[in-house]
Chains A and B, each alone.
Chain A
Amino acid sequence: MTLAFKDGVHACIPTLLGYIGIGIAAGVIDKSANLSILEVTLLAMIVYAGAAQFIIAGLMMVATPVSAVIFTVFLVNSRHFLMSMATAPIFRQYSLLNNIGIGSLLTDESFAVAMTAISNKVPINPPWMHGLNLTAYLTWVLSCLMGALIGQWLPDPALFGLDYALVAMFIGLLYLQLISDKTKKIKNKITAMLTVSIMLVLLLRFISVELAILISTFIGCCLGILVEGKNDNV
């Protein structure tokens, strides 16, 4: 059976609350940084990255130069390069246009959902991926717009635990990834996770969060294949 667009939409549903929670929070925060409703919506449509949208609002509030804002956002989102690198080989045989479409809308969450599907031997294809990505995209843009609209009278999104939606989603995605990917030994995966955590804490003393995330991920992946290589030889 070939997976269709609607199967991708279906696969996206469990992550929607995460997008809605964070999207509303991002909209509220962007609005409180004196961005207009139009600007908040354009940010969501064109930049389409949660963390970056929070940071842009913060930087614009203190009138940071355009070049500095763009460079910061580049650093924040450079992890997308790693995610796209990991996803691209799966869709290699399909058309360039399909590939650009998939890459343009790839997020932390759609990436994790696709990778978990792969681990579970689900034969994913471009229509499925577009269904997953577009559902997420529309939900995100609408949530940011809604956040901007209610930002005028909502005092503090943290009061409702909205800010924790993102952390909860990462807990869920991480756990699902941990139990679903059977190609790697659990011991190797935990070694990589511990390496990332320790490196992150150490690096954060010296460099920004975005760079620390990128470098600790890089080191974690290196250690992962290193212990894997050792286990294979035994």
Chain B
Amino acid sequence: MTTYSLLIILGCGLVTWLPRVIPFILVKKIQLPDIILRFLCYVPICILTALFVSNLLIVKEGKFPELNMTYVLATIPTALVAFLTKNLMYIVISGMCFMAIIRHFCI
């Protein structure tokens, strides 16, 4: 292992760890105002939407992003499985199967 990769692993570990734990230390010291707590209630749904949508897009520098059509196509049956089963395990397995099938027949 080189110094280069060791520095990267340790440095990246630190900047990932700090944002994870600082709020836990802060919140123990101060009581957050009601408006902040209401704001934070929307974080789960908003962040999951952002992560999901960003995964469906192909980013092009300086242009609006394009849709990743195979991903969008696989999303339709996967969302249906989510609606029908409400079971995360089934959703992930069926999603991977739909993706493999779409790749097999479309590309």
Contact = CB atoms under 8 A, between A and B. Distances in A.
Give the bracket for the number of chain A residues in contact with chain B.
Answer: 35 or more
Nearest to A216: B50
Given A52-B16, A84-B22, A14 B88 contact: yes
Contact of B28 (A85, A96, A181): A96
B40 A86 contact: yes
Interface of A: 13-18, 21, 35-36, 38-39, 42-43, 46-49, 52, 56, 60, 66, 69-71, 73-74, 77-89, 91-92, 96, 99-100, 102-106, 108, 111-112, 115, 158-179, 181, 183-184, 189, 192-193, 196-197, 200-202, 204-205, 209, 212-213, 216-217, 220-222, 224-225, 228
Given A161-B98, A181-B44, 8 more contacts: A42-B1, A78-B19, A108-B51, A161-B95, A163-B99, A166-B55, A176-B82, A224-B39
B21 A220 contact: no
Contact of B89 (A14, A42, A79, A111): A14
B45 to A, nearest CB: 5
| SS of A interface (majority) | helix
Interface of B: 1, 4-5, 7-13, 15-17, 19-28, 32, 35, 37-57, 59, 62-65, 71, 74-75, 78-79, 82-83, 86-89, 91-100, 103
A102 B46 contact: no
Given A78-B19, A209-B59, A173 B50 contact: no
Contacts of A179: 86
B92 A213 contact: no
B95 A103 contact: no
Given A80-B20, A88-B24, A158-B103, A69 B96 contact: no
B19 to A, nearest CB: 4
Nearest to B89: A14
Q: Which 6 residue pairs across A and B have the least CB separation, nearest first?
A: A168-B95, A161-B99, A164-B99, A172-B91, A161-B100, A46-B13
A167 B86 contact: no
A172 B88 contact: yes
A32 to B, nearest CB: 15
B50 A106 contact: no
A198 to B, nearest CB: 9
A120 B41 CA distance: 14
A103 B12 contact: no
A217 B95 CA distance: 25
